[in-house]
Structure formats: structure tokens, C-alpha cells
Structure 1
């Protein structure tokens, strides 16, 4: 029969597992962040000036109709009662009903979310596919104080591209490649060609930033002892860079890439409106103008949840790449 002390030791061994602590800590942070996001989305409708019911019905709506609509939506209840009801509805997947269309908010989000996800994910992978090779090649060309001209051109170009706002870049791309040259559609989402300009608008800045980080981290790794040992073994250059140096330079790159994905998700709001992209970005702007607060709340929750989930995925990825980071936190 297993003794009490043996069971206790086994239990403590499981509790001392750093991965369990890591998972528990990340889960707790995610829950608290989601709660704060839901609370902020709820308070938004009460902090914005104006009456959403009056805005939805119009200024000429009879007072009796406005009062009946407010009562039907529970807006006459206390703030605490409304908050508890809203929190319960969100936990059950009920985001309310749009004041302008009369459709469930979740139905509108389901219809518009795929377009936004496709745009953000395409821009993210495009920036990775451009930034990593550019960063690696530039690091190889500028290693050891060589080719100062290449370093100056790369630094200047990457800084300029990184500081251009997505909205301004989108307008410029539309004017040059759509209006003047006619190489791409001006707006809309129809075929692969319609993705080119929106993806470039979202990806150019993050790709420039990421390429700089890849170069800096790779230059640090190239000076390490194990890389010099690999060179001493007369390994081919591509094996030294791709097999030994690049994997060890990925930690900072993955962290920044996750942050850039979050900014891309948020950046879709402006870019979608430039290209009339049928996603959540154009929908939230239209909802704000129409004072359709339930729809705005629902879209804000989706954007915020997406950013939080990306953050968690970055943490998990970093722990898999470098398990020592998990151990250090414990």
C-alpha cells in the first residue's frame, strides 16, 4: 500500500513542475486581462456622450418609443445590474443585437471576421518571409565592420519604411499602383490581386522593423564561441548561418514578431477603410459613426481578445524555443 509520505512527495513533485506554474500563471493573466477587456467594453457605452437609443431611432422619434426601447434593452436598470447582465451574456456568447441592422452582433462578426483575419495573417507571413532573409543577408554583408555603405543604406531605408503610418502608405500605394498604373484594384475584396496593396500597407513597416532586429541579433550570435567553432570545422556558410546562428537569434525575433502581429490586427482598422475591405475594421468605423454601441462593443472585444491570444501564443512559443525562460520565471 502506498504510504502517505510517498503520495505527498508525488503531489509536491507535480506542483513543483515549472511547466504547471507557467501554464497556471499565463492562464491567470489571460483571465484577468479578458475580464478587464470586457469591463472596459461595457463602460465604453456609458462614458461616450449621447443616448445610443436616441441615436439609433433618430432625433424625431417619439419620447414614448425611446423610453420603451430603453426599457426593453435594460438601460433603465442600475449600472451594476447592467454590468452583471452584460458579463453573463458575454460568458454565454451573447454579444447583443445591433441597433442599426437588428441582427445579432455575433452574426455580423462571424460574417466580417474572416476577411480581417485573412488580411492580418497574410501581412504577417509576408513580413516574416521578407524580413528574415533580408536581415540574414544584411548581417552577413555587414559583419565585422565590413561594407559600411550597405549598412547605411539598410539602416536608412528600414527606418524610413518603419515610421510611415499604415494609413499614409495605403493611400500612397492606391494612388501609384491603382490609380496611376492600374496594376491593382482600387478597393474591394475580389481575387488575389485585391490582397496585394492592403497586405503591403500592413506588412512594409513591420517587415522593416523585424529585419533590423534579425540583423542585430544575428550579429550578436555570430560572435559567439560555438559559431567560431563551426567556422573552424570549415562548415559551409549557409550551414553556419541557418543551422547554428539563426535558431539562436530567434528569441527576440519571435517576441517582436508577436508584438507586430498585434499591431497588424489593430492596423487593419485604418487599412480596411482605405481599401473598402469588408472586414471588422470598416464595420467598427461605420458602427461608431452610427452610434451602434453594441456592435462597437462586440468588435472591440474581438480585437482585444485577438491581441491577448497572440501574446499568450508568443509566451508559449518562447518557452518552447528557450525552456530556460520558463525556469527563470519560476
Structure 2
């Protein structure tokens, strides 16, 4: 009966009834990729809201009057009151919070208490320096750590070359244990004071990148090289690697096509954590080398008690870390689609 009645309707040009919206949504949510994307995006938005809320409460949890602390004890009362009204600190707390959220959505982080300049303008001027320094150091970590870990895994596979394994492990542990501040000071003393090969401060030409990039990259490169070696050694013991060798495939094909892609999934996760750590590490390194970035800005703002500037920089750093984690999770899902199914 159904086919008899549908054919005249189709010939008459009458459209068939569409499935309900609930059925469409239910079918879409059956897609593991869509569920994964919605879940990750939800976590990102919730984390971002927590970050914004924490930065807002920061200025209200500080003991005393933040405006008085920023302007100093000798500032006139009229100036303090005017600045408080300009910042909206006399409004009810919920009104301040709603206003803060609204301005954050538009990229307006307020005005500096010390200089009177817009915080977003200062961040826009200083952010490229920090991002550039972190990305150059991260690229150096990948270019050094991944090949070094692969070479050491190949050389020490099966318990061979115990001396080389011990030397590599000991050296990488020592380098990873050195704090960034101490390493930066040591590099300045050795390569800028004792041996004046590189400039000690500022951003002026390619030579000025060498010392701060090394201070940021040495420790993470040592850690990542060890992880790459351990992961590749684990992969080389798998059954499919033995099968590839039994087919008499050349070693370069075994490593390039079968071993390395499977070992790099864990390395990618570590790379994301490394990048977020290096972004935070730029705060210390920039102050050692007087690098024109957000690290110098946030330290100066803390000393000067310029709380709107501190809030804006903290938001930018936190949002950057959350965004990096989101991108790493997405890349991991693309390289290993089984992870989206396991989480469903």
C-alpha cells in the first residue's frame, strides 16, 4: 500500500515528508567525530570561562585598594576616586562581572592604571615577540629531539651499545633538570660576557635569538629526545615490525613507514605539553634577556601593581595554552581516529 500511494505523490510533485528535527540531531550525534568535536569545544569554552572568572576575581581578592596601590600612597584622593570611577570599581560586583565579560568578548581588557594606555594595545605590541620566541624555540626542539631520539633508539635497540645509552640518558637527565633561569644566566655569562659572541639583551637581528632560544629549548629537547627513543624502542618490538622485517623490507622503509608514525602519536602529545610549558617559560627568559615580549610586561605590571594589565596578560597566556591543548587533541584524533571511538 505504501508504494502505491507514494508514486502518485512523487509524480504530482508533492514533496515527501522530511524526518523530524530530533531524528536529524540524533543521527548527527551518532557520528563519533562530531561528538568528539563538541566535547572538546565544550571543555575549551568552560575552561576559558573559568580563566576569565578567575582573572576578574583576582583584582577583588587583593587586600587593600588596588587603585591606591597602583597610584601610590601620595596620590591625591580626587585622582584615586576618578580612576576608580573610570574602572567601574564603584559599581556592584555583578555589574562589574557582566561588564568585564562583555568587554573580554570584544577584546577590550581595560586601561592600564599606570600608563593610561589600552591594555589590548600594549598586548598587541608585545605579543608577537613572545610568540615568535616560543615558536622558534619549539621548532628547534622538534628538529633536534626527534632525529636524536630516533638515532639513539636505532643504535641502542636490543640492548646494544650500553655505554652510549648510559651517556645519552645521563646527559639528557642533567640538561632537563637545569632550571631555565639558571641556564639563561649561564649562557649569558659564557657566551656574552666571557666570550662576547652574542648580544646579551634585546631583539636585534638573528644573533639576538640564539641565547634566549637555547635557554628555552635545551631542557624540553632533552626530555622529548628521551621520550621519542623510549616510544620507538617500544614500537620496534611490536609484531607488525617483525612481520615487516620478515618480508625483507629495507630498514629505512621499516622505520619511516611502520615504526616512526606509530611512535610519534605519543610524541605529539608531549609536544603540545612542551609548547605550553615553553610559552610559560618565556616569562623568565624574556626578563633575563630583556626581550620585548609579554614576559617583561607582566613582571613590570606586577611590580607596579597595574592589575588591568596583569589581568589581560594572564588571559592571553591562559587562552594560548587552552588553544594549544585543543589543537593537539584535534591532531591526535586525526592521527589516531580510534581515540574518538574510545571516548564515545
TM category, shorter: over 0.9
> How far has the Cα of 1:6 moved from its partner?
8.7
1:158 aligns with: 172
Aligned equivalent of 1:219, options 233, 236, 239:
233
Are the structure 2 counterparts of residues 10 and 295 from structure 1 closer, same or farther at C-alpha, using a change threshold of 3 Å?
closer
1:148 aligns with: 162
Paired with 1:250 and 1:48, the residues of 2 have a C-alpha distance of 45
Paired with 2:28 and 2:78, the residues of 1 have a C-alpha distance of 63
After TM superposition, list the pairs within 5 Å mapping 1:89-100 onto structure 2: 89-100=103-114
> How far has the Cα of 1:107 moved from its partner?
0.4
Paired with 2:140 and 2:124, the residues of 1 have a C-alpha distance of 25
| Residues 34-58 of structure 1: per-residue CA shift (max 9 Å, x gap) | 0000011111112223322113332
> How far has the Cα of 1:286 moved from its partner?
0.4
Paired with 2:285 and 2:158, the residues of 1 have a C-alpha distance of 40
Paired with 1:188 and 1:50, the residues of 2 have a C-alpha distance of 36
1:202 aligns with: 216
For residue 156 of structure 2, give the secondary structure of its aligned residue in structure 1. Answer: helix
For residue 257 of structure 2, give the secondary structure of its aligned residue in structure 1. Answer: helix
2:3 aligns with: none
Task: Please give the root-mean-square deviation of Cα atoms over the aligned residues, in Å.
Answer: 1.5
> How far has the Cα of 1:8 moved from its partner?
6.6
Aligned equivalent of 2:290, options 252, 272, 276:
276
Q: Which runs of 5+ in 1 are unaligned?
A: none
- What is the number of equivalent residue pairs in this alignment? 330
For residue 302 of structure 1, give the secondary structure of its aligned residue in structure 2. Answer: helix
Paired with 2:293 and 2:174, the residues of 1 have a C-alpha distance of 29
For residue 249 of structure 1, give the secondary structure of its aligned residue in structure 2. Answer: helix
Q: What TM-score do you get using the length of structure 2 for normalisation?
A: 0.93
1:133 aligned onto 2:144:
no
Are the structure 2 counterparts of residues 73 and 10 from structure 1 closer, same or farther at C-alpha, using a change threshold of 3 Å?
closer
Are the structure 2 counterparts of residues 294 and 10 from structure 1 closer, same or farther at C-alpha, using a change threshold of 3 Å?
closer
Aligned equivalent of 2:56, options 14, 39, 42:
42
Q: What TM-score do you get using the length of structure 1 for normalisation?
A: 0.96
1:55 aligned onto 2:69:
yes
Say which one has the larger Rg.
Answer: 2
